[in-house]
Amino acid sequence: MTIGSNGKPRRAAGQRRLDRAGLPAAAQDYPNRPLRFIVAFSAGGAADLLARTLGQKLSERWNQQIVIDNRAGAGGVIGMQIAANAPADGYTLLMGSSSNMAIGPALYSDLSYDPVKSYAGVTEAANVPIILVVHPSVPVRTLDELIQYAKARPGQLSYASSGAGATPHISGELFRRMAGINLVHIPYKGGGEAVAAVLGSHVQMSFGAVSTALPHMKTGRLRALGVTSRKRLTAAPDVPTIAEGGLPGYEVAQWFGVFVPAGTPKPLIAKLNRELTTILALQEVKDRYTAQGVEPTSNTPEVFDAYVKSEVVRWKKLLKEMDIRGEQVVR
């Protein structure tokens, strides 16, 4: 550091300027233009609902537009690839999930992205249990009745999910195998479309996020038979877990989190993390999530990155034990 003509210290060329909080100059000015929030599934599903809530709050706090960019298709691969190829400047966010960050990479070796190398984690955002719902025309009211009904009609019942290889699909596959029944899987581009298919009687049932199905459960247009989580949900306390309903040991969890392209400067990631964890701690956001069967959560970028790595390993092991291979799943 040199002394200027005014007698005060002057920073040497190339030395980073820090503000009072220790942030580099780039982070002080960030963001100064609109941000894009990529959702790799269609509108109306859990990922979309979460991104819109966080995007709205970020927009209010930063006085910047947050554009929600739904890029559905190929089980989320299209949106994931777009995010991976985006500039690593902090202006592209991605709502990732256990489906495309852990299960997909465990199923397929030819993905155009790497869950660990292509992205940097900002924070985990929510845990969203999956729920099994049927159309009211299906004459069953319990999980056991559904299993017996399906056994008497092998291959005649179909279920919808938000995409081949996604967590809801794997939930249905695990259910099918543990129950010893033959169900036909019909993949859609997102949870909203999957629920719409059940509402329209195009399929008899679906595995999907509680947040997507809950409004229709309350009106009686869908009948819930079980949740995939270990415990019952506050938002739907009368719905038993699938383990309680007749398949002991059954459990599938689904998580969502915010990512940025790999190489995004760490000071920008740290600033995003602080803003998002503050938003996720707001009582208004907690209440909104809980009412939809969503459990808000958050952590540091370092903890989240480590968790994603562990999830890839866990799902590879679990799918191998279940004998579910990528070539068995049509994308």
**Domains 32-127+254-328 and 130-227 are alike in CATH topology:** yes
Find out whether 76 and 41 touch, Cβ atoms under 8 Å.
yes
Find out whether 233 and 211 touch, Cβ atoms under 8 Å.
no
pLDDT at 26: 60
- E strand intervals along 24-176: 35-39, 66-70, 92-97, 119-127, 130-134, 157-161
Task: Give CA–CA dist 123/299, Å, rounded.
Answer: 5
pLDDT at 163: 84
- What sign does the CA torsion over 69, 264, 90, 313 have? positive
Task: Give CA–CA dist 49/70, Å, rounded.
Answer: 11
Least confident piece of the model among 189-193, 214-218, 224-228 = 189-193
Q: Using one digit for the tens of pLDDT, what is the confidence trace for 218-238?
A: 999 999 999 998 888 888 899
**Domain range summary for the chain, segments of one domain joined by +:** 32-127+254-328, 130-227
pLDDT at 131: 95
pLDDT at 24: 58
Q: Using one digit for the tens of pLDDT, what is the confidence trace for 116-173?
A: 999 999 999 998 889 999 999 999 999 999 999 999 999 999 999 988 888 899 899 9
Find out whether 329 and 186 touch, Cβ atoms under 8 Å.
no
Average pLDDT (93-98) is 96
Q: Using one digit for the tens of pLDDT, what is the confidence trace for 288-304?
A: 888 888 889 999 999 99
Kindly tell me if the per-residue pLDDT of 20 is higher than 80.
no
Length of the chain in terms of residues written: 331
Tokens found for residue 80 = 């994931």
CATH class of the region 130-227: alpha beta
The better pLDDT of the pair 44, 126 is held by 126
The pLDDT mean for the chain works out to: 88
CB atoms within 10 A of CB 267: 19
Secondary structure of residue 224 in the 3-state scheme:
strand
What band does 28 get if pLDDT is binned at 50, 70 and 90? confident
* 3-state SS, one letter per residue, for 246-270: CCCCCCCCCEEEEEEECCCCHHHHH
Kindly tell me if the per-residue pLDDT of 6 is higher than 70.
no
What band does 58 get if pLDDT is binned at 50, 70 and 90? very high
What letter would DSSP give residue 241?
A: B
Tell me the fold of 32-127+254-328.
D-Maltodextrin-Binding Protein; domain 2 (3.40.190)
Find out whether 170 and 250 touch, Cβ atoms under 8 Å.
no
pLDDT at 291: 81
Average pLDDT (80-103) is 95
